[in-house]
């Protein structure tokens, strides 16, 4: 079984599935993808995602504002918490720092990130972190504002191994996306080989970053299998081992998602002594 630990189900390009989200999810389920974490980019997204989750027992959701998203007014810690509690989310995010584009002032991103981390800590929920070209600030904030016992994930990770190791030392997981399959992504494949398997997650970040051999197409949750397969080949282990360990890792981090898991997934978790 596989888990897509980061997908934007409300933003998928569904042309290949006649506009039907159910068909896109069924295509993933046919490839043994048994859990989806649908990620919010704005707090306004969360209600839509909650509707998707109510219709699909294998979909969990997050609440947060992306670091590059423009908002009319920055949400307070209490507003982030209220949204998370109202819609029964399993994580806060995605949030973080992206200094690559600088379309949102750095001081605005910094304060937004700090508020999300505070909300996550007060709710005892893991945080989903987007980080790009902001190594020191990202590490400083998560050290100051997160509990290693709760942790979080650096999603779609493309930074240096040393940053990953420091985050792991603070209780975080590292998630790899379809980028790991790209021809020019040897540095990411080095990460796939070096990061402890019990600290790795897999994701699509769909509809973005479709893996080889699907580059150029809108990404889909079903293609998380290609990410897992690449990691297995790089590490010289079986695809089943990557699937099992990344699934276990997902439920270790996103503990609130475990009760929402399907009957089949719950039985697998019970067999692995996780429930």
155 a known binding residue?
yes
130 a known binding residue?
yes
100 a known binding residue?
no
47 a known binding residue?
no
Please enumerate, as own/partner, the contacts of 227-234 that have beta carbons within 8 Å and a separation of 24 or more: 227/176, 227/177, 227/178, 227/180, 227/181, 227/202, 227/203, 228/2, 228/202, 230/180, 230/181, 230/189, 230/192, 231/176, 231/180, 231/192, 231/200, 231/202, 234/180, 234/189, 234/192, 234/193
HEC readout, 56-117: CCCEEEEECCCCCCCCCCCCCHHHHHHHHHHCCCCEEEEEEEECCCCCCCHHHHHHHHHHHH
88 a known binding residue?
no
- The conformation of residue 156, written as its DSSP 8-state character, comes to S
8 a known binding residue?
yes
Which residues make up each annotated binding site for a divalent metal cation?
6, 8, 94, 130, 155, 205
Residue set of the binding site: 6, 8, 94, 130, 155, 205
């Amino acid at each position: 079984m596989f888990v897509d630990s980061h997908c934007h189900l409300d933003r998928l390009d569904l042309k290949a599935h006649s506009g039907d989200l159910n068909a896109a999810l069924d295509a993933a389920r046919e490839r043994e993808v048994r859990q989806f974490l649908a990620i919010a980019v704005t707090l306004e997204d969360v209600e839509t995602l909650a509707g998707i989750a109510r219709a699909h027992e294998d979909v969990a959701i997050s609440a947060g504002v992306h670091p590059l998203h423009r908002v009319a007014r920055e949400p307070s810690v209490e507003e982030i918490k209220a949204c998370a509690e109202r819609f029964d989310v399993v994580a806060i995010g995605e949030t973080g720092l992206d200094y690559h584009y600088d379309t949102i002032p750095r001081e605005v991103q910094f304060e937004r990130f700090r508020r999300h981390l505070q909300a996550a800590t007060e709710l005892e929920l893991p945080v989903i972190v987007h980080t790009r070209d902001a190594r020191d600030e990202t590490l400083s904030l998560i050290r100051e504002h997160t509990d290693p016992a709760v942790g979080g994930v650096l999603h779609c990770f493309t930074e240096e191994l040393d940053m990953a190791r420091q985050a792991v030392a603070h209780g975080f997981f590292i998630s790899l996306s379809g980028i790991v399959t790209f021809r020019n992504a040897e540095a990411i494949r080095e990460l796939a080989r070096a990061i402890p398997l019990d600290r790795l997650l897999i994701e699509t970040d769909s509809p973005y970053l479709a893996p080889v051999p699907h580059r150029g197409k809108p990404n889909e949750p079903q293609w998380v299998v290609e990410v897992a397969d690449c990691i297995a080949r790089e590490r010289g282990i079986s695809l089943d081992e990557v699937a099992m360990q990344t699934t276990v890792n997902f439920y270790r981090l996103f503990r609130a998602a475990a009760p929402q898991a399907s009957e089949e997934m719950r039985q697998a978790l019970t067999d692995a002594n996780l429930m």
